[in-house]
Structure 1
Amino acid sequence: MSTIESDKTEFKTVNFDETNLSPTRPSGDSENDGKIVFLLKAAGGAPILKKKKWALPRSKTIGHIVEFLKKYMQLDVEQQKQLFLYVNQTFAPAFDTTIGAVNDCFNSEGILVLHYTFTPAWG
């Protein structure tokens, strides 16, 4: 698992077994219990991330993901103001909503799909 730290928030990429889509863990790594696996997909003119699958603890908020995206994509000030995050191409959750709550309502096959864009698209 790769790890990126941003403001004391730990993001991990997760390797998936293509046959059953269950998370695979390299030897010596702790289990993903309590972590939400989510997929970040670009929409509109937003740049595509090299790594799409990430994992965070259930207690982290949507705001943590937005702040991470701003830093990871190295956005300028104007682009940072125009970053939107949507769940399943449906709606934009509040930044103080926990990832666990969003996952409980909208995950598909154990993965939460989040779309990011620079223009308002859905919702």
Structure 2
Amino acid sequence: MPLQLAGRFDAAQLVVGDLDPACTEALRQNPTLQKPGIRILTEDARVLPSVPDQAVDLIITDPSWGYFEQIDDITGFYVEMLRSFRRILKPNGKAVVLTARKAELLAAEAAGAIIRDQLNTLVNGKKAALFTVQYD
């Protein structure tokens, strides 16, 4: 996803993150991501300590789905992630979230998120959806 974004769109700043250090190191070595304004972080989306409060206009994410990764409480994961997004998004900012765990993401609205749109799709033959998330 970050390679497509960096290759097709001009942004004042692009922050790319993953929890896996090997993944982020591979991204740092990719020439497409070696541009001014691109930061690659090895951080958990549930915390994002190096991203300041209300600093982000748009988040596009494909978080862990919980089918293939070992996540015992996927709804709790999504609640924490959406709380983190709420902290870093500017007023009127939004997040676009791709997930196959639709019910669990909808349950995560407890984090104060408002699901504005849902687009059902297939990803590698598996049912998934894109959600647009905003906050009050």
Q: Give TM-score scaled by structure 1 length.
A: 0.29
Q: Which has the larger radius of gyration?
A: 2
Q: Which has the higher strand share?
A: 2
**Which structure is higher in helix share?**
2
Considering Cα pairs closer than 8 Å and 6+ residues apart, tell me whether 1 or 2 has the greater RCO. 1
